[in-house]
Amino acid sequence: MLVNAKEMLVKAKAGKYAVGQFNINNLEWTKAVLETAEELKSPVILGVSAGAGKYMCGFKTVAAMVDAMVESMGITVPVALHLDHGTYEDCYKCIDAGFSSIMFDGSHYAIEENVAKTKELIAVCEEKGLSIEAEVGSIGGEEDGVVGMGECADPDECKLIADLGVSMLAAGIGNIHGKYPENWAGLSFETLDAIQQKTGDMPLVLHGGTGIPADMIKKAISLGVAKINVNTECQIAFSAAVREYIEAGKDLQGKGFDPRKLLAPGSAAIKATVKEMMELFGSVGKA
């Protein structure tokens, strides 16, 4: 059964570790993440972007697949199914589809409209038992066509949104989606510290977890980050492993063309990446 992300994140914040959100793209991806979480006894959040939802034939298909996989794989660790960077409309679609958590990305609205829409969605989520993430200050890079500049969030705006009753808060602290450029300035711990001081117990979310040095990740967790989103890292690991299989000509040997064989190295690479992240985030054994 899917659970919302609130309890696992409150525990994580109190225990000074973070729960990984791993974005999923298909059945293999979901299976690899779930298997790893179960093996390591770690809570886990499966993230679904609008683009991935569309690719997998809609949010209803995703929710039904994940729900069935959790049951048939005998998963016992807490699993949340979370809409990543949801538009106002997609939030409602995911609530109806059976997701257990949503992110409303109202960062591109003026603060008044972000507040009004966030409040409305919080009320719906409370009634239905979902957790909800809000975002203040846009996060750099590009994710499914939503482009941000990597600014730092205003701690007062963070407090304003946190006080509305969201379950978790994403705040821009210089992090960006995708690969980090050579000249990246690094995370602003000054901003993160100020945000945590204003928002108290609120679990903070770090987007763009791919390529942030391990010491920065650990410092961010010590300053209140309780959820870290990972997407690109798994994609890079998956494609490198499948490329190696094909370049070695293994798809031409025997029944190496069988998709279950051809994609197996990719799945193993996702599992290794998820394991590495869970160990870094400190969530192993916390389920």
Q: What are the residue numbers of the active site?
A: 84
Burial class of residue 118 (count of CB atoms within 10 Å of its CB; 0-12, 13-18, 19+): buried
> Smallest distance from the beta carbon of 71 to Zn ion, in angstroms?
29
Segment near Zn ion (CB under 5 A); pick from 69-77, 192-200, 201-209, 242-250? 201-209
Q: Mask: binding to Zn ion, 225-244, rule CB under 5 A, as x and -?
A: --------------------
Segment near Zn ion (CB under 5 A); pick from 86-94, 117-125, 207-215, 238-246? 207-215
82 binds Zn ion (CB under 5 A): no
CB-nearer residue toward Zn ion: 40 or 52: 52
Nearest to 88 by CA among 72, 103, 73, 70: 103
Nearest to 194 by CA among 150, 140, 148, 158: 158
> Smallest distance from the beta carbon of 84 to Zn ion, in angstroms?
6
CB-nearer residue toward Zn ion: 82 or 207: 207
CB-nearer residue toward Zn ion: 40 or 139: 139
Ranked by CB distance to Zn ion, the top (closest) residue is 207
Contact 83, 167 (CB under 8 A): no
> Smallest distance from the beta carbon of 234 to Zn ion, in angstroms?
14
d(C-alpha 21, C-alpha 45), whole Å: 4
- Say if strands 168-171 and 225-230 run parallel, antiparallel, or are unpaired: unpaired
Altogether, the residues listed in the chain come to a count of: 287
286 binds Zn ion (CB under 5 A): no
207 binds Zn ion (CB under 5 A): yes
Q: How far apart are the first and last CA of the chain?
A: 14
CB-nearer residue toward Zn ion: 78 or 150: 150
Segment near Zn ion (CB under 5 A); pick from 24-32, 109-117, 203-211, 216-224? 203-211
> Smallest distance from the beta carbon of 146 to Zn ion, in angstroms?
8
The angle subtended at Cα 235 by Cα 229 and Cα 240, nearest 5°, is 145
**DSSP calls for 97-123:** HT-SEEEE--TTS-HHHHHHHHHHHHH
> Smallest distance from the beta carbon of 21 to Zn ion, in angstroms?
9
d(C-alpha 55, C-alpha 77), whole Å: 27
Total residues in contact with Zn ion, by rule CB under 5 A: 1
Q: List residues binding Zn ion (CB under 5 A).
A: 207
